[in-house]
């Protein structure tokens, strides 16, 4: 029996696995005070499969849907492993220690948060990957923030604001290509149309970080002895040279040459390993160990050891397993048409353009929340809301901006989403042991959540909400045929983005 011939769940039945999954997650997180969402999400997958069974699906159907979405995420899992390697070899080579050393020497605590956000934004635009930015420059910035006695969650908020905003507007980013691809608009028109929300959100975040720096951090005098202890310990244990920045320069250079993210990042990991052998005296076997299990050092300075003892593929296993389970759950929810039914129910209740824009952003956020996958949160609402925008005569540039903001930018703010899991693991926020204080980075990543708020306000005010141009109206038919390729029957989101 064809998937389309199987019964569609009612809205109540479609919502049931989502509500129950979030309930189990809530018990684990708030009742047991234990942030390990793997098992609750696996239980959610089982609930979804059970409901699908009663709707006429069999395990083979559920399995195919889950495995398809997991297969789409394999590139992301590969990037996670390579980021783990980079963290290990860039610490071992002295690249990250040099960044920390230079930052503590050159930056002042008052401007640190603002500079951290801007630096991550520039690097992320250059690399086209927020994950790579978080795991490299972001990690070094966490070390600098620790040296300035700035709480981890403040530094992490600034890093996330910059890294994911850079990813949002970079033409090298897969999500930036995916959003216009599924909505049928030009890539660079899409990027330009995001500026009215991107620029104000970044400026507001910048002002907040500066105010915090000059009022909160400046009031609490920084312990200069701690900074001296960290910089002295780094200088004593690492051979420092500007040459150690070559791995970062290499990765950025390859990205600007439009090399794919995975080989570019892997080249950076290898370059870090070579410099570790040349400058720090590491053996080849030690470099392999750093790539696999992470870097380890005992300097006698607790602040340094806590910053630098990390990395390796194994450090990413917590994230990788979480992403795989979340992707499988998203695939099951899509294959059983639960997400499709919910999105259609939302569409029926939208009347004005403002409510439609808010619904598109909200649907992307909800998909991120439930499915744990930024790609699904862009592709699903992107293809299902497009006819509604065309019907109201509005350009689907509004939709591509909506799903980018609800998908890309909210992903790092959901701890069990792949984006949030990467942030927590790469920046060493350590929430898996019940230390939930570091989750305060979520509201402090101002640029990420301000953008969709500004976008919704624009929609209700009628600002920066373009109507469809004559050219777009003329192309609607052909674009509609292209979008129809993206049927809910297991679309290959990455293939669509790559073809744009």
Per-residue pLDDT reduced to its tens digit, 364-418: 998 888 877 788 788 888 877 888 888 888 999 999 999 999 999 999 999 888 8
Q: What is the DSSP string of 377-412?
A: HHHHHHHHHHHHHHHTTB-THHHHHHHHHHHTTTGG
SS3 37: coil
Query: According to the model, what pLDDT value does residue 358 have?
Result: 94
Per-residue pLDDT reduced to its tens digit, 325-362: 888 888 898 899 888 888 888 888 888 899 999 999 99
Identify which of 158, 134, 132 has the alpha carbon closest to the alpha carbon of residue 145: 158
Per-residue pLDDT reduced to its tens digit, 188-226: 899 999 999 999 999 999 999 999 998 876 556 566 777
Query: According to the model, what pLDDT value does residue 433 have?
Result: 52
- Give the pLDDT band of residue 4 (cuts 50, 70, 90): low
Phi, psi of 408 (to 5 degrees): -65, -45
Q: How far apart are CA 443 and CA 271, in angstroms?
A: 36
Identify which of 382, 419, 387, 418 has the alpha carbon closest to the alpha carbon of residue 401: 382
| CA trace torsion 120, 134, 174, 376 (10° rounding) | -130
Q: How far apart are CA 107 and CA 150, in angstroms?
A: 13
| CA trace torsion 377, 380, 382, 384 (10° rounding) | -150
Q: How far apart are CA 446 and CA 162, in angstroms?
A: 10
CB 95 within 8 A of CB 238: no
Whole-number percent of the chain with pLDDT over 90: 38
Q: How far apart are CA 212 and CA 64, in angstroms?
A: 49
Radius of gyration of the chain (CA): 23
Q: How many residues does the chain have?
A: 500
Query: According to the model, what pLDDT value does residue 225 have?
Result: 76
Q: Is the pLDDT of residue 500 over 50?
A: no
pTM of the predicted model, to two decimals? 0.80
Q: How far apart are CA 479 and CA 460, in angstroms?
A: 27
Query: According to the model, what pLDDT value does residue 340 have?
Result: 84
């Amino acid at each position: 029996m064809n998937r389309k011939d199987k019964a569609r769940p009612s809205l109540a039945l479609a919502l049931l696995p989502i509500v129950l999954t979030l309930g189990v997650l809530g018990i684990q997180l708030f009742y047991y005070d234990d942030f390990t969402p793997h098992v609750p999400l696996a239980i959610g997958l089982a609930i979804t499969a059970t409901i699908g069974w009663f709707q006429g699906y069999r395990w083979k159907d559920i399995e195919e849907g889950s495995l398809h979405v997991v297969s789409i995420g394999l590139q992301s899992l590969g990037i996670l492993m390579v980021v783990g390697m980079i963290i290990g070899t860039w610490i071992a080579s002295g690249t990250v220690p040099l960044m920390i050393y230079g930052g503590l020497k050159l930056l002042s605590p008052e401007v640190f948060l603002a500079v951290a956000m801007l630096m991550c934004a520039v690097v992320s635009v250059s690399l086209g990957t927020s994950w790579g930015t978080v795991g490299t420059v972001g990690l070094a910035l966490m070390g600098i923030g620790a040296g300035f006695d700035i709480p981890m969650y403040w530094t992490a908020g600034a890093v996330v604001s910059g890294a994911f905003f850079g990813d949002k507007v970079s033409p090298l980013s897969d999500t930036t290509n995916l959003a216009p691809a599924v909505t049928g608009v030009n890539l660079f028109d899409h990027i330009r149309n995001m500026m009215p929300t991107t620029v104000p959100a970044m400026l507001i975040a910048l002002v907040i970080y500066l105010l915090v720096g000059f009022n909160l951090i400046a009031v609490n005098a920084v312990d200069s002895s701690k900074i001296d202890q960290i910089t002295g310990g780094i200088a004593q244990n690492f051979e420092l040279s500007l040459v150690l920045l070559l791995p970062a320069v290499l990765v950025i250079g390859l990205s600007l040459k439009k090399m794919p993210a995975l080989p570019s990042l892997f080249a950076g990991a290898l370059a870090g390993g070579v410099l570790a052998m040349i400058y720090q005296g590491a053996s080849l076997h030690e470099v392999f160990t750093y790539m696999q299990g992470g870097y380890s050092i005992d300097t006698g300075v607790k602040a340094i050891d806590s910053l630098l003892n990390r990395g390796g593929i194994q450090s990413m296993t917590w994230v990788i397993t979480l992403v795989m389970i979340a992707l499988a759950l998203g695939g099951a929810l899509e294959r059983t048409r639960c997400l499709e039914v919910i999105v259609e129910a939302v569409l029926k209740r939208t009347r004005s353009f403002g409510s439609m824009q808010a619904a598109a952003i909200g649907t992307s956020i909800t998909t991120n929340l439930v499915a744990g996958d930024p790609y699904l949160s862009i592709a699903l609402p992107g293809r299902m809301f497009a006819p509604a925008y065309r019907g109201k005569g509005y350009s689907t540039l509004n939709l591509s901006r909506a799903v980018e903001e609800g998908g890309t930018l909210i992903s790092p703010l959901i701890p069990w989403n792949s984006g949030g899991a990467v942030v927590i693991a790469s920046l060493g926020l350590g929430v898996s042991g019940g230390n939930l204080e570091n989750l305060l980075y979520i509201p402090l990543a101002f640029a990420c959540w301000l953008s969709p708020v500004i976008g919704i306000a624009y929609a209700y005010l009628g600002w920066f909400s373009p109507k469809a141009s004559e050219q777009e109206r003329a192309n609607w038919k052909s674009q509609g045929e292209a979008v129809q390729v993206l049927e809910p029957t297991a679309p290959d989101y990455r293939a669509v983005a790559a073809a744009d």
